Structure 1
Amino acid sequence: MNITRPHIEDLMARSMTEKASFAEKIYAVDLPPELAGFARRYEDMGGERDVYLWKWCWDLQYARNPGFMLSSVPEKYRRDAALAKSLLGMAATFIDDVSDTLKDKHLLDAILTIPFDGECTLPDDLGERGYLRAMLVRDTLLTAHDILAAGPRWEEFRTALYYDLGQTWNSFVYAYLVNTHPELMNITESRIYTSHTMMFYIFADIDAIFSPSLDIEEAPKLREAIWHAQQMSRIGNCVSTWEREVRDEDVTSGVVGYGMSTGVIRPADLREIGREEKKREIIARLTENRVEENLFRDWEQNRQRIIEVGKEIRSVDIDRYLEGIEMVMLYYLSSRGKGSAI
């Protein structure tokens, strides 16, 4: 790794020169009908995200060479894998809105009881908007389940998928915790818990379900590589959206976590985040102290670890996968201010 010119600097430079073309490319993407219907339902209920997000995610999930999809997925399964991942990403985003933006614990608890593969009974006191949001989550989950259950290795990998879904759901509970008790925010727990909102383990599980040639003996090393890839994506997520999140009174970003852990900001600052002048002060302090640079350093370290672990993996092209993760970072850097991240 070039210490004097980290790889991240090249991506940042590209993001500045290619930002307009990236945005134009994403807005030109046509959502498949399986996703477009859910996007319309979300918009009709006053959803907080722009359609750019859904197009951005679909473009990333469907891409190949380089791409975000494991090389072990044959072309004939490419669309099904991308659809399942996009649908679960949508469901997670709908839940994320409840924990981070609405901060509605009752609705969050109800939604997190919705089973992945069956009908559900919801409380009758969610209100019309809460009920519609819960049904939207249920329907996206069931649609993804039907696609996955037809995959060639569903029975083999579904247990891992269910476990990893649980980790993601728990990350939303953690987000609610720190957004209602911001004095608890710190970088260590941020790395552990909020990284699961990126769903990289789930996406890898889905690719495995559609990968007849994947060597199960390599699964431990592959999951280790996925951990570092998930951290890299979460870092991209943080640097792309942290200023908007502070303005929205969402303190879950790793930028805020580093700010708390290094003393740049303090618990008292976050307890007063409802005041507009305090939001501006927090953003200014984090910017002036160049807190983002801690995350960029972490990104480089995780990238190097993937390279090392990848030397022991043969049934997946880790070099190509890493190129896809770098593309994800480029998309994040090029999407600052567009609300593109979960």
Structure 2
Amino acid sequence: MSERTVRSPDPGKIQRVRDHTLPPAVSGVVDEYDARVGDRDRFLWKWAHHLFPKFTLSSVPDGDVEPLRDRKLLGLIFVSVLDDVAEKCGDRITFEEATKVPFDDRSVNHDREGVDREALSFLSDVWDRFAPGVADGPRAGEFEDVFQFDFRQVLNAIDYSYVGNQDLEFVNGSELRTYESHNMMVFAFADIDLIHSPSFDRSDLSTLRRVLERAQRMVRIGNWITTWERELREGDFTSGVVVYARENGIVSAEELRGLREDPDEAAVAAVASAIRDEDVEDVFMRRWQRELTLARRHEGATDSVDVGAYLDGVETVMEYHLASRGLK
């Protein structure tokens, strides 16, 4: 399929997200999130749940698409809470204990001094609901090790951002693209699809992962260019947009550290204005388009999954990113 140009923000997309109803399988968990650790608006969960079918692999049987979108949302909630623990709260102790949950939950120390017990308990509860949806797929034995590897990269991405926010000079654009893009969970979501894809031909896996690598960077770019201003106000300076600005002399590390020490509204606005004046977002839009062009070259190279349809879905995700600036 030929590339289509990502359209300008469409207000109708926002309304479709607002009108989206979360099913009982996940709405109860979102209610618990709001009551126990909630920091993010429910719009984010609706946004993701609405979009999951758009970039579900075509190898997933039609009857599994709906239950898998619920499971993916549970995984996203787990990662989002963990991300907030590390980046917004700077809570290294809780982060360290929570990262044990997916792999060795028996070693989690809920009574460790300084741990946020409520957040850790909630994360454990969410994982307990999410994990069976991975393990019960017909190809779980075949792809579980792949999923575990990819999920470790998600946790590593959060760790990278945590370290980067402690030491701004630690972060560079190249490593950011390598490590931090995994926070988007594109590989992990695809692994869940593969676990539930009886017809997927494993000989297509290498090519598919090349596509996923580019798709993950595309989704990361969409997130960066629509959330960097909010993150700037919050003192999170690991967005690719802000890192690019620092590396290219548009803003300095000293200016950014000053925002964290004294988040004066005028100072934040001045830094944001400097970044906008240099059209940094356009740099990333061109990178996004380049990634798409290269990913499209793999269309037709796999028999058991439709790469073109998948990339159409990733383009749709970008359209929703642009439409929802400032809302998630």
| CA-to-aligned-CA distance 1:79-133 (integer Å, 9 cap, x gap) | 23222211111100011111221111111111112135754532414668x2111
Deviation at 1:184, TM superposition (A): 2.2
User: What residue number does 2:30 align with?
Assistant: 39
Equivalent residue letter for 1:93:
S
CA distance, structure 2, for counterparts of residue 56 and residue 120 of structure 1: 34
Equivalent residue letter for 1:94:
V
Corresponding residue to 1:237 among 218, 223, 239: 223
CA distance, structure 1, for counterparts of residue 7 and residue 232 of structure 2: 22
Equivalent residue letter for 2:144:
R
User: What residue number does 1:290 align with?
Assistant: 279
User: What residue number does 2:296 align with?
Assistant: 307
- Normalised by the length of structure 1, the TM-score is 0.90
User: What residue number does 2:155 align with?
Assistant: 169
User: What residue number does 1:102 align with?
Assistant: 89
| CA-to-aligned-CA distance 1:241-275 (integer Å, 9 cap, x gap) | 11000001111211012112222122212221222
- Normalised by the length of structure 2, the TM-score is 0.94
Equivalent residue letter for 1:210:
H
User: Contact 2:160 / 2:180 at 8 angstroms: preserved in 1?
Assistant: yes
Identity of aligned residues (%): 33
Deviation at 1:234, TM superposition (A): 0.3
Decide whether aligned partners of structure 1 residues 254 and 59 sit closer, same or farther in structure 2, where only a CA change above 3 A counts: same
Q: For residues 140-159 of structure 1, what are the structure 2 equivalents within 5 Å? A: 140-159=126-145
Question: Is the aligned partner of 1:178 residue 2:164?
Answer: yes
User: What residue number does 2:183 align with?
Assistant: 197
User: Contact 1:100 / 1:176 at 8 angstroms: preserved in 2?
Assistant: yes
Decide whether aligned partners of structure 1 residues 112 and 118 sit closer, same or farther in structure 2, where only a CA change above 3 A counts: closer
CA distance, structure 2, for counterparts of residue 224 and residue 258 of structure 1: 25
Question: Is the aligned partner of 1:268 residue 2:254?
Answer: yes
RMSD after superposition:
1.9
Deviation at 1:142, TM superposition (A): 1.8
User: Contact 1:72 / 1:316 at 8 angstroms: preserved in 2?
Assistant: yes
Structure 1 residues 267-276 or 156-165, which shifts more?
Answer: 267-276
Corresponding residue to 1:112 among 99, 112, 121: 99
**SS across alignment from 1:265:** coil
Aligned residues: 325
Unaligned 5+ segments in structure 1 are: none
User: What residue number does 1:73 align with?
Assistant: 60
CA distance, structure 1, for counterparts of residue 268 and residue 163 of structure 2: 20
**SS across alignment from 2:66:** helix
Q: After the TM superposition, which segments of 4 or more aligned residues of structure 1 sit over 6 Å from their partners? A: none
Deviation at 1:165, TM superposition (A): 0.7
Corresponding residue to 1:54 among 23, 45, 65: 45
Decide whether aligned partners of structure 1 residues 45 and 122 sit closer, same or farther in structure 2, where only a CA change above 3 A counts: same
Unaligned 5+ segments in structure 2 are: none
